[in-house]
Chains A and B, each alone.
Chain A
Amino acid sequence: NAGVTQTPKFQVLKTGQSMTLQCAQDMNHNSMYWYRQDPGMGLRLIYYSASEGTTDKGEVPNGYNVSRLNKREFSLRLESAAPSQTSVYFCASSGRDRGDYGYTFGSGTRLTVV
């Protein structure tokens, strides 16, 4: 089924460890996004990629890096995890470039930093 796939679904890290969250879409979308969701808050944009080879900061980029590996894949890296990065991370894609702003979301990665 067409959609957005995120891996892993769950992860526990120790403070200072690094990891990469993977996201891949087969919607042929140019635009991809990373959000985090914390209890009682709406989703907040971390980084986005308008097209292959481009990335830009969102509202809360500190402590994160991203790579748009190709049109399908957009990864999020935590270089030195901190307890404040405990959250649920969602990847999304859209066909913004062809006027389709509707989002398709992945099922999320639940990350705990201890």
Chain B
Amino acid sequence: KQEVTQIPAALSVPEGENLVLNCSFTDSAIYNLQWFRQDPGKGLTSLLLIQSSQREQTSGRLNASLDKSSGRSTLYIAASQPGDSATYLCAVSTDSWGKFQFGAGTQVVVTP
């Protein structure tokens, strides 16, 4: 069974610093990987999706990398802002049905 781990569970950084969020998974035979943002009491918003054939995806200040052989993905957020404070979840799919296995998330606080 695919296990998805996100360490650390919580992270606090000063505004302007780059954020590095880690995700590891146990089965390297993934179909795709998706990063989400969740604000308190809200639903999840998809940030980036990386297909298994890709090494990275970028959107604005966000960049996600994928290394299937080592079972890792990293989400980079450049020049963090207080508005980036949220919980970030990583999710991995191992088939084409679109079912995802989620990590527990990393709670990020960006202090002004």
Instruction: Assess whether A61 is interfacial by the CB under 8 Å rule.
Output: no
Tell me, in angstroms, the Cα distance from A103 to B33 when the chains sit together.
Answer: 11
Q: Is the CB of B89 within 8 A of A43?
A: yes
Q: Which of B13-50 contact A (CB under 8 A)?
A: 31-32, 34, 36, 42-46, 49
Tell me, in angstroms, the Cα distance from A31 to B99 when the chains sit together.
Answer: 10
Q: Which of A89-108 contact B (CB under 8 A)?
A: 90, 92, 94, 96, 101-108
Count contacts on A: residues with CB < 8 A to the other chain.
26
Q: Is the CB of A42 within 8 A of B102?
A: yes
Q: Is the CB of B89 within 8 A of A58?
A: no
Mask, A30-42, CB within 8 Å of B = 1, is 0101010000111
Q: Which of B76-112 contact A (CB under 8 A)?
A: 89, 91, 93, 96-105
Q: Is the CB of B99 within 8 A of A58?
A: yes
Count contacts on B: residues with CB < 8 A to the other chain.
24
- Closest residue to A9 on the B side, CB-wise? B41
Q: What distance in Å separates the Cβ of B66 from its nearest Cβ neighbour in chain A? A: 14
Q: Is the CB of B98 within 8 A of A96?
A: yes
Cβ 8 A contact of B46, one of A43, A45, A96, A102: A102
Instruction: Assess whether B4 is interfacial by the CB under 8 Å rule.
Output: yes
**Interface positions of A (Cβ within 8 A of B):** 4, 31, 33, 35, 40-45, 48, 50, 56, 58, 90, 92, 94, 96, 101-108
**Interface positions of B (Cβ within 8 A of A):** 4, 31-32, 34, 36, 42-46, 49, 89, 91, 93, 96-105
